[in-house]
Amino acid sequence: MAIPQLSHEQRLEALDKAAKVRRDRAQLRRDLKDGSIGIAEVVERAKTDPVAARLRVRAMLLALPGVGEIKADRLMEQAKISPNRRVGGLGVLQVRSLLDRLS
């Protein structure tokens, strides 16, 4: 399938949209880091917010205070979550497992 040809304006629009999504995702990680929101809120928000839904689970865990790479990987392994899984793709049991382990 060929890549569609975009006009200069369409390309700039796409770049602006992508930059906004990255800023919003970074803000979500900052909110997790400073404790203004928790994992349960991010998972709930992912049901309606595409920015939260597209956040990788590992990035979400790494944003939490006291969770480093080793602990994040261990939590994901224990909850049977693929390394590339996004928050919007988590199952009920995976969410429950993460919340139980982090409480």
> pLDDT tens across 8-62, in order?
999 999 999 999 999 999 999 999 999 999 999 999 999 999 999 999 999 999 9
Read off the pTM.
0.86
Distances (CA, A) of 56 to 23, 28, 60: 15, 12, 6
Q: Is the pLDDT of residue 83 over 90?
A: yes
103 pLDDT exceeds 90? no
For residue 1, name the pLDDT band (cuts at 50, 70, 90): confident
**Mean pLDDT throughout 70-94?**
96
The pLDDT of residue 11: 93
SS3 content of the chain, % helix, strand, coil (to 5): 70, 0, 30
CATH architecture entry for 10-101: Orthogonal Bundle (1.10)
Region 57-84: what's the mean pLDDT?
Answer: 96
Q: Per-residue confidence at 69, pLDDT binned at 50, 70, 90? A: very high
